[in-house]
A = this chain, B = another copy of it.
């Protein structure tokens, strides 16, 4: 039950080590706190092994890669693997540059990941081993729609099997699969795309959920997706005349902060395939 997943986060306050981009890092920290976790950020290679060791999970986001932070990602990842901590990879902009694509693929090869969360274009790039995406947003041609849903579910399942980790593709319809089952999730609002970093925020939440729910990883990942989408719906319902994307950002994090297990259970819109 998603309710349990949420409550496990709030009760255990998982400490999540984030190596993430400097664009959305503050929102990632606040949303991890909002969902019940505790964030710590460190991307200096000489610092990350110690930091990962005091944490319970690792969130790697390649949104603003630096050569020095790449080394930090591998060192933190290897240490997290030794400690059997869950690792989530958010391959921001994979396909938009050779460095991003190469780094994301190497992280998938050299580390044992628990989950990869990205938009459909980023995930297709990783599945193909190469590719192009238009910036950090998903290409319209790739979008998961009701029409392409069967194919998309099959694709995500297959890639999850091949990658041996949970694959979460988020967009208008979200897909979360461990290779066997696939959650098809219809929470969220299109206006969330007008805020920078809602994807990064979801990755932070998901890392906290994975850390707090070791025996229910797929369900935890899906619950995180539903929480973020539902928060987008609740936040939107509180918008007043004159409010725009900056206020919406605050209201979404506020909604995560106030969400109870019952509300998540009731508001989650998904089917299992």
> Does B24 lie within 8 Å of A26, measured CB to CB?
yes
Q: How far is the CA of A253 from the CA of B26 in the complex (A)?
A: 15
Q: Is the CB of B99 within 8 A of A194?
A: no
- The answer, yes or no, to whether A189 is at the interface (CB within 8 Å) is no
Q: Which residues of B contact A97 (CB under 8 A)?
A: 42, 47, 50-51, 54
- Tell whether A29 is near chain B: CB-to-CB under 8 Å: yes
Most buried by B among A100, A134, A246, A253: A246
| Contact mask for chain A residues 228-262; partner B; CB cutoff 8 A; 1 contact, 0 none | 00000010001000111111011111111110000
**Alpha-carbon separation in the docked complex, A134 to B55 (Å):** 8
- Which residues of B have CB within 8 Å of A93? 40, 42, 51
Residues in B whose Cβ lies below 8 Å from that of A255:
242, 244
Q: Find out whether the CB atom of B258 lies under 8 angstroms from the CB atom of A254.
A: no
Query: Is residue A171 contacting chain B, with contact meaning CB distance below 8 A?
Result: no
Q: Which of B43, B64, B134, B195 contacts A33 (CB 8 A)?
A: B195
Which residues of B have CB within 8 Å of A250?
Answer: 246-247, 250
Tell which of A65-73, A110-118, A159-167, A216-224 binds the partner: A65-73
CA distance A33 to B47 in the complex (A): 31
Given contacts A244-B253, A250-B250, A254-B246, contact A99 B30 (CB under 8 A): no
Establish whether residues B66 and A41, one from each chain, have CB atoms under 8 Å apart when the complex forms: no
Binds B, one of A15-23, A146-154, A173-181: A15-23
